[in-house]
Chain A
Amino acid sequence: MRSVQGFGRHKLLIFRILLILSFAGLISRFAYVQLIESERYTRESEKNRIRPITLEPPRGIIRDRYREILVDNLPAYSVFAIPRELTRRDTVFAALAKIINRQPASLEKIFRRDRRGPFQRVKIARHIGFQALAHIEENKLELPGIVYGVDPRRYYPAGVRAPHLFGYLGEIDEKKLAQMREHGYERGDVIGKTGIEYIYESVLRGKKGFRFVEVDALGREVTVLSGLGEKPAVPGKELHLAIDAELQRHLERIMEDKRGGAVLINTDNGEIIALASKPDYDPEIFTKPISSKVWNALRDNPDKPLYDRMVRSHVEPGSTYKLVLAIAALEEGIIDGSETVYCPGAYRLGRRVFKCWKKGGHGTVNLLQAIEGSCNVYFYRLIQKVGLENWVKYSRKFNFGKTTGSDLYSEFPGLVPDAAYFDRKYGKGKWSKGLLLNLSVGQGDLLVTPLQMATFAMYIANRGLGFRPHVRKRIVDPVTGDEEYAIPDTVRIEGISERTWDIIHKGMFNVVNAPGGTAKGANPGRVHVAGKTGTAQNPHGEDHAWFIGFVPYEQPQIAFCVFVENGGSGGGVAAPIIRSVLRLLLRQNKILIPQTVVAEE
């Protein structure tokens, strides 16, 4: 490299002169525009009264499988403040607070929190009453900078409550806003918080549009301007659920005084056609600003109405789970079903006595009879032959211990305890066989959700073929009328022989149809129901009642699960609910009666 010796300073001088000249020229130009011409441009800028206005898309409505509207939009009004025009904030907020019955301080707080630039409307109160609206309109002149706008709310015209299924809407919070900003969400926007409003937010929401309006000196809209690149809002899509509204209403009615829930699944595709969790609450509550009194009452209610029992109940399945053990024993070749066991009404293991639910005992029973009469002693003995490892293997095979992957909000996975779990809980090797005996009858540390049990019933009904349970039936574009269906995800339970299915089906048939069956009360007539009852003991009160199964026996179309907390016995409480539901479906010819049954009649 060459170095520069005796660098010619004149070059630096030339560069400096050019630099000074150009910057001086530039600054004088700016000074001219900003000082001498400032007045003229200020007038110009004041004439620029074109404001962009966001157009909110109407949220997609929700219908049932026969297109009856379940969730619709109702016009409601919200109050906005425009910072730029809000010159006397204190007095205006004081007057407004009186009209809409809020605290001026809370309005001030919301305003400060959500203010974004001088022209962004700040939503300071949602869903005000018509009375208040009329007052604001009357006192418009005393309320400069305050405007109101339509801000629709949800309402539920079908008389279907299902608040856990639908979920509710609310204003987007800061954390969510940070994630969703790039999807066009802004402060004050409404977003699905729970339920399908949450799960299908992207479908229901639609797309915001905007247009330009000219405003007067007070910021009121004068004319809508076209040709400046306006973009209409794209309405949210309609979501059609697989729910049958009539069936749902009926189910909700007969479950009204119960604590628990029921779910019915179409075995052809996994569609959830009815789904109730009781007690619940009126979904309308969350469409309006909720008072802390109402909220506290809901939250502190000992019956826990906010809690979705279908997907969040972690409970022991009781005897319904004997089916898993039976399948494991048959498939592992431990029994062939013909072996008999004598049930004296109790079983002694070491110093502990494990009772059968039937005091006098079942006498001598084979597998079919043990399922039909739900004999505990038979299964106490059986699990000792099958072993924990096989029991866990088949529990996992049927996808217990993980969520069903449904499109319901916040499903719990349940729990299948294995040796590692017991080692952790009780210490390695410190747990006894007694735990195993509890598991054999669906008690102990095993936890399932009612939705999992209904899905299990579907696997059995279809002899291993299942579908991911779902409430979505179709998505309809309200503008074009295009309908979009999803192919249901199949879940296949492999490696279970037809013979095993035959035995299980037969056993379940007997539960409802044989003289000694535990669920004779489920029989609606005209079709054969197959099922299994469960009565899970519960240290906190009455037993939990279970009933799972499918119908018709010969050609399954519907799988079901009923669960009643502290209800008593499965046969006595849960089975009649199914009978009532099936009778409605039969009356409406919604169950196809298999030819063989028709012939019998």
Chain B
Amino acid sequence: MLWDKQDRLKPDLAIIIAVAVLLVYGLMAVYSATQSANPIIQNNFGKQFIWMLVGIIVASTIMLIPFKFFYDQAYLFYAVAIFLLILVLIIGGGTGVKRWFYIGPLRLQPSEFAKLATLFALAKYASGQQRDMNNLRDLAIAFLIVLVPTLLIIKEPDLGTALVIMAIVLPVLFWAGLSLFTVFVLLAPLIVMVSAFTFTSFFIAMVTITAVMILSGRGPRVIIPNFLLNIFVGIMTPMLWGNLHAYQRSRILTFLGIEKDPQGLGYQVLQSKVAIGSGGLWGKGWTEGTQTQLRFLPEQHTDFIFSVVGEEFGLFGVIVILLAFLVILWRALNIAADSKNAFAGLVVVGSVVILAFHVLVNSGMTVGVMPVTGLPMPFLSYGGSAMLTNMVIIGLILNAGIRKFNYV
């Protein structure tokens, strides 16, 4: 049976409407971004439309599969994903990178699949009967589950997707019971690392971290080692950094998306800001954006699709889209909180993180507050693989919503 009697096929209407709004905006933006002028980019509207239809079918199908299936197969999916990630490093194609399998006209990206498979495996592990996330061994294994695919994806290299997978860990484990204090302890060295380059920022960071630890009421046996560790990290980071060759440093900065202009990224962001800024409150009108139509925007139908929205639909369009995303994320969190099935709840939380990460990083990039990492905007950017993954995610969220009173 696809679902039990007590389930009523009542998917969350607010989420469906919000997704529909995004898809309509996305199609309009892709149409505008690819319709004219440059002979290099042809009209991708038709393809995107077909991907959208396929995506809707996929989302509907995913919605009907009992969650137990994903639970039971989670580790199998994970194993397949790891296998594919290794395989793509050996036989994958792409110029200078190994991210895709080419099967006829199709280009498959195993990291998209790995994203979801890792989430399933992590959720299954964390929702296990005997697990305690505050136990060091269980915590380490949970991290390991995420670390393996992350490293393989970094090797491709596909930093954007690797960051998305890493971003899942703490929120999911926190939801599964990891204490807020442990989350803080885990984040502290990262904060220190970033702040360690000037003495003032390092000092402020250390004071804050130590204060929080003392206020948390933990004893010196916890506080002192942590304090020493963070001091150590803070001193070592600039030293190690100084020992690196210039090209290594540059590579890391580019890798992190911090360094401006390795290939004219600064120019891209500037043109994107010009597009969005000149759009004003109401925008220049559909297909009337000068930046878009004259192709000043880089990758305007993929990574920078949101700049097209900003230019042609203005702040109004931007807010409609961001609110639509907020509705999806908000409702999804409610579903996760209501879900009687811990595994489903964790999968939904992970899905929320994946979507939110894409939205924040992508739209932030277009106005220069986030690095250019090449993460597409869900439902808006042109691209089949991403469309399918996002539709699967929506299917999972709706699925959990329908079955939130089920224990299995």
Contact = CB atoms under 8 A, between A and B. Distances in A.
Interface stretch (A117-125, A198-206, A415-423, A427-435): A117-125
A30 B276 contact: yes
A3 B407 contact: yes
Contacts of B127: 1-2
B291 A45 contact: yes
A11 B171 CA distance: 10
Contact of A23 (B42, B276, B326): B326
B302 interface: no
A16 interface: yes
B393 interface: no
A4 B36 contact: no
A42 B310 CA distance: 13
A41 B274 contact: yes
Contacts of A50: 294, 296
Interface in A9-53: 9, 11-12, 14-16, 19, 22-23, 26-27, 29-31, 33-35, 37-38, 40-42, 44-46, 48, 50-52
Nearest to A116: B36
A7 interface: yes
A40 B128 contact: no
Nearest to A40: B277
B204 interface: no
Contacts of A22: 356, 360
Nearest to A44: B274
Contacts of B38: 52, 210
Given A1-B407, A26-B360, A15 B277 contact: no
A45 B290 contact: yes
Contact of A34 (B128, B291, B314): B314
B275 interface: yes
B138 to A, nearest CB: 13
A73 interface: no
A74 B345 CA distance: 72
Nearest to B295: A52
B39 to A, nearest CB: 5
Contact of A29 (B290, B345, B369, B407): B369
A2 B407 CA distance: 8
B337 interface: yes
B405 to A, nearest CB: 11
Interface in A345-400: none
Contacts of A45: 274-275, 277-278, 290-291
Interface band, chain A: 35 or more
A45 B287 CA distance: 15
Nearest to A210: B39
A50 B295 CA distance: 9
Interface string B360-387: 1001100101000000000000000000
B278 A2 contact: no
Interface residues of B, number: 63
A34 B36 contact: no
B288 interface: yes
Interface in B167-223: 171, 174-175, 180
Contacts of B343: 1
B71 A1 contact: yes
Contact of B296 (A9, A27, A48): A48
Interface string A171-182: 000000000011
Given A1-B343, A26-B360, A182 B42 contact: yes
B132 to A, nearest CB: 11
A225 to B, nearest CB: 13
A184 B39 CA distance: 6
Given A40-B277, A41-B274, A52-B295, A35 B315 contact: yes
B275 to A, nearest CB: 7
29 contacts: A1-B343, A1-B408, A2-B128, A4-B345, A11-B174, A15-B352, A16-B330, A16-B333, A29-B369, A30-B276, A33-B276, A33-B277, A34-B276, A34-B277, A34-B315, A34-B318, A35-B280, A38-B278, A41-B274, A41-B276, A41-B278, A45-B278, A48-B274, A50-B296, A52-B38, A116-B36, A118-B288, A119-B290, A208-B39
Interface of A: 1-4, 7, 9, 11-12, 14-16, 19, 22-23, 26-27, 29-31, 33-35, 37-38, 40-42, 44-46, 48, 50-52, 54, 116-120, 181-182, 184, 186, 208, 210
Interface of B: 35-39, 42-43, 68, 71, 127-129, 171, 174-175, 180, 273-281, 287-288, 290-291, 293-296, 310, 314-315, 318-319, 322, 325-326, 329-330, 333-334, 336-337, 339-343, 345, 349, 352, 356, 360, 363-364, 367, 369, 407-408
